[in-house]
Structure 1
Amino acid sequence: MATELEEKLIEEELGYPIRLSEQVRAAVDEANWFKLECSEVGKQVDRVSQMLRTMTRFASTAQFLYDRPIRRVTAEVSKNLERALTLVRKCKRRSVLRRVVTIVSAADFRKVQSFLESSVGDMRWLLSIFDTENGGSGGGINLSLPPIASNDPILSWVWSFVATLQMSQLPEKIEAANELASFARDNDRNKKIIVEEGGVPPLLKLLKDGASLEAQIAATTAIYNLANDQERVRAIVNELGVQIIVQVLSDSPMVVQTQAARLVARMAEYDPVAQEDFAREHVIRPLVTLLSFETFVDDHKDQLSKQSFHSIVEINKQMEKKTLTRPNSSRPYSNSNSNSNSNYYHYYYHNNEGSSRAGQHRRERENEKPEVKLSLKISCAEALWMLAKGSVLNSRRITETKGLLCLAKLVEKEEGELQYNCLMTIMEITAAAEYNADLRRSSFRINSPAAKAVVEQLLRVIRELDNPVLQIPAIKSIGSLARTFPARETWVINPLVTQLSHRNPELAAEAAISLGKFACPDNFLCVEHSKTIIEYNGVPQLMRMLRANERAQLHGLILLCYLAIHAGNSEALEQARVLTALEGADRTVVAQHPELRELVSKAIDHLNLYQVGVQSQMHSFVP
């Protein structure tokens, strides 16, 4: 909410100290004592008054005006003029008693003159950053320090940079944006000052105008460095930053798109309002478009090589017809399952890059260096990850754009950061599907080509990549989909069981958690899945987990309890002496986790039902 000071017109702000200076001049003329000192005060006040009037003339005619430093300096100048007025008025002839009460000394004048000298310095600096002598075109970056900012130079520098952004020529604007980016990188206090002093709107304007590639990169870098706090992200959102960023992402050179995608990821990560606003502004579609660029090229070529010439001609005619009849379609992808990756790729580009400008950018992207293309995809995948995080609606939007198929393909073909970001995006989408039946049914049907591709790549990562950083999100994703697999799909369980014996206890714990989602009572097929886990030799591995760290021990115990409850008559449980292990855990682990007492007790009761003979022998034994 704007303060009372900020609600006043800038002309009103400047009018008050001008009136004060006139009152001081009148009081100087009426002074009877310290006439020489009062005259010196009057000269300084005249200098301040002249500069205030110059600033007023400029403010009344300027097309764009950065008022933050004007308001702050004017408020300080007004205080100093009030001090001068109070002092000079004391020098007017009064009664003897009043003169005794209001004694004035030379030290008082020295103090007031020092204050007025500071005001002269502040006004001189203020006029210099607006370059009023040259018609107010902006004086460029001014790193000199006005007295008002002598104890906090960052403040005056930010004022100078923001004023340059608003009123100078493009080269100076780029320099100012780069300086703000550097300041914002240093510490959070600098970020706070930049936002509070109005740095966000001109940065967004520089980004939106697209005057040059360098200008857009400088602006996005500065905004990105500011956006690591919910309050500051909200300030960007409130200045319509989301709409500007989405437009830039959709219609800019690849290097700028990379920066814009990073900004989407950063803002969505720190502020749920920004996360929702980006989705509302349809940012997911261009992100998937950019992420899919060249992803299906090889598949498309392979498919075309198998087609006859006549078939190729017919396909092209059909695609051209779809493009002509649906030029303004808000959703360019069909919800029906694609018969081939090549058809999806062909349809994808005909519908998303039909405009001449988009086509131009596409040609530019094709000619870009591979590292630039990779950087863009990494940023887009990260943005989709942050948009999907904790959001069922955004996860659904990604799946509706055929994003799952693209993510699966990238997990298969890529490595490093891009592969990781794609896996994390899948993990967030599957986590949303775990708790939303509609999303689970619509996007992860067992006969869906996209869902099959995702599951195949997740299992490949779990089996073939010995890298816990990549394997853990893949394992979590399979666990989140546990309720989508029928009992016959035992092939998804075996890789998880294998990871129970992994040397990394955190990975083993995640495998136990995911298997627990197959075997827990909430899963309709928990009995069948429990038997499958046992058949794949999961019990001995779980018994070893009971000797691992606390987290692995905890989740290994939970899964053992589920197996005991749903498949208590298994010989594997008896041979591994699971009953003895659970009874021991009842005295140790449960003491640290009392919420498990009921589960462990139930598992012990189930095992006792099937191992009566063993228990009878134990009770009849006499030492």
Structure 2
Amino acid sequence: MEEEIKIGDELSTSLLTAERLRNSVDESKSFKTECFEVGKQVDRLTQMLKTLIRLITTSQQVYERPIRRVIIDVKKNLQRGLTLVRKCRRHNVIRRVCTIINAGDFRKVINLLESSNGDLKWLLSVFDGDGDGGIEISLPPIATNDPILPWVWSLVASIHMGKLVDKIEAANQLGSLAGDNDRNKKIIVDEGGVSPLLKLLKESSSVEAQIAAAMGLVLLACDEDKVRCIVNQLGVPVIVQVLGDSMVSVQIKVATLVARMAEFDSVAQDEFARMSVIKPLVTLLSLDVFVDDVHLSKHSSIHSLVQMNKDSSLKMYKSSKSNVYRDIGGSRAGNFKKERDNENPEVKHELKVNCAEALWMLARGNVANSRRITETKGLLTLAKIVEKEVGELQYNCLMTLMEITAAAESNADLRRAAFKTNSPAAKAVIDQMLWIIKEVDSPILKIPAIQSIGSLARTFPARETRMIQPLVEKLGSSNQEVAITAVISLQKFVCPENFLCVEHSKNIIEYGAIQLLMKLIRKFEQQVQLQCLALLCYLSMNASNHEQLEQAKVLTVLEGAERLASLQNPELRELVTKAIYQLSLYNAGSHSQMLSYGVGP
């Protein structure tokens, strides 16, 4: 109910209480000296309350949070003073005897009123009548135990009501304060710091002000609750508009803000998609990607792809150069076209890095957003950047592709639409993943590439075996994480959910997977061993008559695994039992010798 009462009404009620207290002071018959001191404090309070009311009624925008906090205490202290002073009026003898007051009671009330005067004086210094809103960092009595609070109040008030230079300084200081610790972030959000930052980002014509506002929001967007607060303040439409309607230096920070919000909150992911943020991000990422690039191709497959898509790619590029900023932004977008075209490569690169990260976070765990990226020619752009670039930009694009392929694994419609066998964009993605797996000596890049190929396992026909051999070779990697990722990806080729599991199993065995799996089981820890056993079981069930299984004594290994006390996974136990049964049937047929295990399929 407190928040629903208008701030003007709160002040008027406090002023009325102050006037009643003043009248009671005039009517006092005892403790006249103490009542006189109370009256002096009330007179100051009354004057400042009137000034504050005039300021509220004449100002177009007022930051109410500190006013409400101060007025709550002012009302309590005035009411306490009124209760005390009323006892000093003339009463009958019995009433005077029963009413026991002393000078100590007055001293407490006078101290409280003096604190209220200090709080109101501080408020007036922040909300001055000139609309300057300068940054006031003095310490009001109400915040003696928490000096950060008045600082935040002063900064937020300055962003609300100050001149442009004060707003920029306050936004920068607020960002610095938020960067110190999580408690400061919470105070800023709780005290209403999000709304003025969004307004500054949206309405300011100053690039410096927009950057300061965006960075402040980036630092606040550190967990789900704070991101949700930005969303609830209708921040998503503002952010999307600024992304398409600003200078490159502003877009860089805003793209980072999109990434942080999407990283921590699934609701923000959906809201950004609903406001069509993916199209501008892909467009900004794709600028200059397809121009004068054919002769730079590292791989003949991508070279052919660029040739095949030369007309459409150049058309998309030219369209984006001339029209995209109008499409993705507001009315000011065209004013920044020339600035973007002439921007130096380092700045453009930074923008692409942040746009790629934003796409990564939007796609992470989100099938709908992954589909939207594929519908905006995003796959081809991402694949091309993975081919051309190195460092953070390449990594962010690779991680975006990994998230899209993971979404395709879980969604058959997306898998069929985006990763059709004859799709040039899908072919480009697969080519780049295989190139990274085979040629790039970096586990950080190899792991998402291997995961992506595994996620697409159900899209490959039986005749398509070129991705099998690189995955099998990675089983021999000295890096444990690379090896176990390859194991898990190969499981997706041979698990029962894959219609071609039998054909894939035979190919995997032919490329030498059995011996490598045996080495992994002996070499690495239990986590790797269990994953290797799962893959070994699938291979045994799908290709139990393969001679390499018998030569490697896989049946003996599985029998030992079944007896391992550490094998606590019920699903894996069942898998091992079925694999033993399949191998035993084959061995019985081959050697005319039946081994009884007492198990069935």
Q: TM-score range by the shorter chain?
A: over 0.9
Change (3 A) 1:354 1:101: closer
CA displacement 1:390-432 (0-9 Å, x = unmatched): 1111111100110000100111111111111111100110111
| Residue among 551, 554, 577 paired with 2:553 | 577
1:447-466 equivalence runs, <5 A:
447-466=422-441
| Residue among 61, 83, 86 paired with 2:83 | 86
Q: Which residue of 2 aligns with 1:255?
A: 249
Residues paired across the two proteins, number: 581
Instruction: State whether residues 121 and 147 of structure 1, in contact with CA within 8 Å, keep that contact through their aligned partners in structure 2.
Output: yes
Q: CA deviation at 1:298?
A: 2.2
The residue type paired with residue 41 of structure 2 is Q
1:91-490 equivalence runs, <5 A:
91-132=88-129, 134=130, 137-299=131-293, 341-353=313-325, 358-490=333-465
Point out the more displaced range, 92-101 or 12-21: 92-101
Change (3 A) 1:493 1:113: same
Change (3 A) 1:404 1:604: same
Change (3 A) 1:86 1:618: closer
Secondary structure at the aligned position of 2:466 is classed as: helix
Q: Tell me whether 1:54 sits opposite 2:26 in the alignment.
A: no
Change (3 A) 1:277 1:354: closer
Q: Tell me whether 1:494 sits opposite 2:473 in the alignment.
A: no
Q: Which residue of 1 aligns with 2:63?
A: 66
Q: Which residue of 2 aligns with 1:319?
A: none
Q: Which residue of 1 aligns with 2:304?
A: none
* Residues in 2 aligned to 1:93 and 1:581: alpha-carbon distance in whole angstroms: 102
Q: CA deviation at 1:197?
A: 1.2
Instruction: State whether residues 142 and 157 of structure 1, in contact with CA within 8 Å, keep that contact through their aligned partners in structure 2.
Output: yes
* Residues in 1 aligned to 2:560 and 2:519: alpha-carbon distance in whole angstroms: 14
* Residues in 2 aligned to 1:500 and 1:30: alpha-carbon distance in whole angstroms: 94
Change (3 A) 1:301 1:542: closer
CA displacement 1:301-338 (0-9 Å, x = unmatched): 889xxxxxxxxxxxxxxxxxxxxxxxxxxxxxxxx977
Q: TM-score, normalised by structure 2?
A: 0.93
Q: CA deviation at 1:256?
A: 0.7
* Residues in 1 aligned to 2:311 and 2:507: alpha-carbon distance in whole angstroms: 33
Instruction: State whether residues 252 and 350 of structure 2, in contact with CA within 8 Å, keep that contact through their aligned partners in structure 1.
Output: yes
Instruction: State whether residues 474 and 483 of structure 2, in contact with CA within 8 Å, keep that contact through their aligned partners in structure 1.
Output: yes
* Residues in 2 aligned to 1:407 and 1:484: alpha-carbon distance in whole angstroms: 20
Instruction: State whether residues 584 and 595 of structure 2, in contact with CA within 8 Å, keep that contact through their aligned partners in structure 1.
Output: no
Change (3 A) 1:502 1:29: same
Q: Which residue of 1 aligns with 2:500?
A: 525
Q: Which residue of 1 aligns with 2:38?
A: 41
Instruction: State whether residues 299 and 342 of structure 1, in contact with CA within 8 Å, keep that contact through their aligned partners in structure 2.
Output: no
CA displacement 1:543-588 (0-9 Å, x = unmatched): 1111212221111111100110010011111111100111111111
* Residues in 1 aligned to 2:592 and 2:410: alpha-carbon distance in whole angstroms: 41
Instruction: State whether residues 338 and 344 of structure 1, in contact with CA within 8 Å, keep that contact through their aligned partners in structure 2.
Output: no
Q: CA deviation at 1:516?
A: 0.5
Instruction: State whether residues 138 and 163 of structure 1, in contact with CA within 8 Å, keep that contact through their aligned partners in structure 2.
Output: no
Q: Which residue of 2 aligns with 1:331?
A: none
Q: CA deviation at 1:369?
A: 2.7
Q: CA deviation at 1:235?
A: 1.1
Q: CA deviation at 1:339?
A: 5.8
Q: TM-score, normalised by structure 1?
A: 0.90
Point out the more displaced range, 534-543 or 185-194: 185-194
Change (3 A) 1:614 1:553: farther
Q: CA deviation at 1:589?
A: 6.7
* Residues in 1 aligned to 2:249 and 2:293: alpha-carbon distance in whole angstroms: 27
* Residues in 2 aligned to 1:412 and 1:302: alpha-carbon distance in whole angstroms: 10
* Residues in 2 aligned to 1:555 and 1:50: alpha-carbon distance in whole angstroms: 77
Q: Which residue of 2 aligns with 1:593?
A: 569
* Residues in 1 aligned to 2:178 and 2:349: alpha-carbon distance in whole angstroms: 27
Change (3 A) 1:596 1:568: same
Q: Which residue of 1 aligns with 2:515?
A: 540
The residue type paired with residue 349 of structure 1 is K
* Residues in 2 aligned to 1:23 and 1:284: alpha-carbon distance in whole angstroms: 61
* Residues in 1 aligned to 2:337 and 2:495: alpha-carbon distance in whole angstroms: 49
What percent of counterpart residues are identical? 61
Change (3 A) 1:353 1:59: closer
1:544-559 equivalence runs, <5 A:
544-547=519-522, 548-559=524-535
* Residues in 1 aligned to 2:91 and 2:141: alpha-carbon distance in whole angstroms: 36
Q: Which residue of 2 aligns with 1:507?
A: 482
Point out the more displaced range, 30-39 or 339-348: 339-348
Q: Which residue of 1 aligns with 2:301?
A: none
Instruction: State whether residues 30 and 92 of structure 1, in contact with CA within 8 Å, keep that contact through their aligned partners in structure 2.
Output: yes
CA displacement 1:495-553 (0-9 Å, x = unmatched): 10000111111111110111110011111100000000001001100111112122211
The residue type paired with residue 528 of structure 1 is E
CA displacement 1:154-194 (0-9 Å, x = unmatched): 11111111111111100000011011111111122211111
The residue type paired with residue 297 of structure 1 is V
* Residues in 2 aligned to 1:466 and 1:262: alpha-carbon distance in whole angstroms: 29
* Residues in 2 aligned to 1:64 and 1:618: alpha-carbon distance in whole angstroms: 87
* Residues in 2 aligned to 1:52 and 1:242: alpha-carbon distance in whole angstroms: 38
Q: CA deviation at 1:95?
A: 2.6
Secondary structure at the aligned position of 1:490 is classed as: coil
Q: Tell me whether 1:561 sits opposite 2:514 in the alignment.
A: no
Q: CA deviation at 1:360?
A: 4.6
* Residues in 1 aligned to 2:508 and 2:326: alpha-carbon distance in whole angstroms: 51
Q: CA deviation at 1:598?
A: 1.2
Point out the more displaced range, 69-78 or 100-109: 100-109
* Residues in 2 aligned to 1:29 and 1:357: alpha-carbon distance in whole angstroms: 64
Instruction: State whether residues 249 and 260 of structure 1, in contact with CA within 8 Å, keep that contact through their aligned partners in structure 2.
Output: yes
Cα RMSD over matched residues?
A: 2.0
* Residues in 2 aligned to 1:568 and 1:362: alpha-carbon distance in whole angstroms: 64
Q: CA deviation at 1:43?
A: 1.1
Structure 1 spans left out of the alignment, 5+ residues: 304-335
Change (3 A) 1:81 1:268: same
Point out the more displaced range, 388-397 or 281-290: 388-397
Q: CA deviation at 1:616?
A: 4.1
* Residues in 2 aligned to 1:278 and 1:91: alpha-carbon distance in whole angstroms: 64
Instruction: State whether residues 383 and 432 of structure 2, in contact with CA within 8 Å, keep that contact through their aligned partners in structure 1.
Output: yes
Instruction: State whether residues 299 and 341 of structure 1, in contact with CA within 8 Å, keep that contact through their aligned partners in structure 2.
Output: no
Change (3 A) 1:23 1:497: same
Instruction: State whether residues 505 and 549 of structure 1, in contact with CA within 8 Å, keep that contact through their aligned partners in structure 2.
Output: no
Q: CA deviation at 1:58?
A: 1.2
* Residues in 2 aligned to 1:345 and 1:244: alpha-carbon distance in whole angstroms: 26
* Residues in 1 aligned to 2:88 and 2:25: alpha-carbon distance in whole angstroms: 9
* Residues in 2 aligned to 1:265 and 1:527: alpha-carbon distance in whole angstroms: 42
* Residues in 2 aligned to 1:616 and 1:605: alpha-carbon distance in whole angstroms: 14
* Residues in 1 aligned to 2:210 and 2:87: alpha-carbon distance in whole angstroms: 58
Instruction: State whether residues 207 and 216 of structure 1, in contact with CA within 8 Å, keep that contact through their aligned partners in structure 2.
Output: yes
